[in-house]
Amino acid sequence: MTEDIVRDYIIDMQTMHIKFEGHRYKKDEHMTVGLAASTINTRLKTLRVMFKYLVESGLHGDNPMVNVKNVKETLPQISILNAEELRALFSQPDQRAFADFRDYTLMHLLLDAMLRVSEATKLEKRDVDFRAGILTVRAEIAKNRKERIIPLSKKTLKLMRELIEENEEDFDSPFVFLSYYGERLQSNHFRKRLQEFGEAAGIDKRIYPHLMRHTGATIFLENGGDLRHLQKLLGHSDLRTIIRYTHLSDASLVRQHAQYTALNNVLSPQQKPRKTIRK
């Protein structure tokens, strides 16, 4: 195996390989020529790991991957929801129904805390500190397996408290988001219901749980939020190089979140915190 063979392999993946060729569930228009840059880079990463092991074990001479760089990836344009679309979406669940109120609460949480839906549906009651107004994403449920602390808005905390009390009347479960039968809510089930809410709201965009995370993060920055604080809230490892020289206190994080959370774009002025007493 040589470096030239690896480069020929990259060219083959870019110009010859047919996506989903022979896949029984994919339409012909999806079977285009050339793999995505991200797919090619994932394969190159695997080769790097394999040849590093082979060379260190004495099973191969030179490492052909040393000078092979990743293919340049073009980041896709992320579509987000504007304030009007958010209001329309949030108005769809019937809060008198258990499942709709649960989904309404989860929608607030996803937008406010910018969680991944898999993290949100695995939350347990012990993860929410109502007195401190924070949420703990435990390492075992976080995608990057690192624990993080997220402040929550008063509106989200109020909804979650109501939901937990509602659950405890009929179910004995440690989880916050439950199905009709008291089992943990599955991400795919919520994903389908959120899509239905989007269709009912007449939103001409693909509605999916991660869109709430994208929307929350984008509005956070547009409202003046700090990128370093956003990195802590998202638990996004790709932004480590930006904040590696900065130490942020939890108190500062709480202040930043309260000021720049995307939920402020949804709440009416009467629902927002107000000042009534002078210092």
CATH number at residue 88: 1.10.443.10
Residue 78 within any structural domain of the chain: no
Which is the catalytic residue, given 17, 87, 210, 214? 210
Considering 102, 116, 155, 229, which one is annotated as catalytic? 116
Would residue 236 show up in a list of annotated catalytic residues for this protein? yes
The SS3 call for residue 149 is: strand
What are the tens digits of pLDDT across the range 160-193? 999 999 999 999 999 999 999 999 999 999 999 9
In order of 50, 254, 275, the CA distances from 279 in angstroms are 64, 20, 10
**Per the domain annotation, does 243 fall within a domain?**
yes
Mean pLDDT of 220-242: 74
- Same domain for 144 and 23: no
Could you tell me if 72 and 251 are in contact, meaning their C-beta atoms sit under 8 angstroms apart? Answer: no
> Rounded distance, CA 21 to CA 257, Å?
46
Asked if 46 and 100 sit in the same domain, the reply is no
Write down the pLDDT at residue 247: 42
Per annotation, catalytic residue among 143, 146, 189, 192:
143
Instruction: Verify that 102 and 42 share a domain, yes or no.
Output: no
Of 224 and 53, which is predicted with more confidence? 53
Residue 245 clears pLDDT 60, i.e. is over it: no
Kindly report, residue by residue over 10-23, the tens digit of the pLDDT.
Answer: 999 999 888 888 77
pLDDT at 82 over 80: yes
**Do 114 and 187 have their domain in common?**
yes
Confidence at 250, pLDDT banded by 50, 70, 90: low
Tell me if 235 is assigned to some domain.
yes
Residues 6 or more apart whose CB falls under 8 angstroms from that of 123 comprise: 135, 137, 141, 175, 176, 177
* Final residue belonging to a domain, choices 12, 41, 56: 56
Whether 255 maps to a domain, the answer reads: yes
Q: Is 278 among the domain residues?
A: no
Active site residue 193: no
Residue found under tokens 């949804």: 266
Choosing from 24, 25, 131, 245, which is the catalytic residue? 245
HSE (side-chain half, CA atoms, 13 Å) at 2? 3
Residue 71 in contact with residue 35, Cβ under 8 Å? no
- Give pLDDT, residue 235: 86
Residues 33 and 159 in one domain: no
Q: Can 210 be counted among the known catalytic residues?
A: yes
Q: What pLDDT is stored for residue 26 in this prediction? A: 72
- Looking at the domain assignment, is residue 32 inside a domain? yes
Q: What is the pLDDT of residue 1?
A: 87
Given a contact cutoff of 8 angstroms between Cβ atoms, the answer to whether 205 and 198 are in contact is yes
Same domain, 120 and 231: yes
- Looking from the CA of 266 toward its CB, the CA atoms found within 13 Å total 25
Q: Is residue 149 part of a domain?
A: yes
For residue 37, the enclosing domain spans 3-56
Does any domain span residue 221?
yes
What distance lies between CA 114 and its chain's CA centroid? 6
Residues 144 and 228 in one domain: yes
Q: Which residue type sits at 117?
A: V
pLDDT bin (cut points 50, 70, 90) of residue 241 is very low
213 is catalytic: yes
Q: Across-strand partners of 128?
A: 135
Residues 187 and 229 in one domain: yes
| Measured CA distances, 128 to 40, 48, 67, 163 (Å) | 41, 42, 48, 12
* Cα 271 to Cα 150: distance, rounded to the nearest angstrom: 21
When divided into structural domains, the chain yields a total of 2
Asked if residue 91 and residue 30 are part of one domain, the reply reads no
Q: How large a percentage of the chain has pLDDT more than 70?
A: 88
Answer yes or no: 24 catalytic: no
**Together in a domain, 14 and 124:** no
Same domain, 131 and 36: no
Among this protein's residues, is 148 annotated catalytic?
no
- Of the candidates 213, 228, 229, 257, the residue annotated as catalytic is 213
Structure confidence at residue 75 (pLDDT): 62
Asked if 161 contacts 146 with a C-beta cutoff of 8 angstroms, the reply is no
More confident residue, 56 or 244: 56
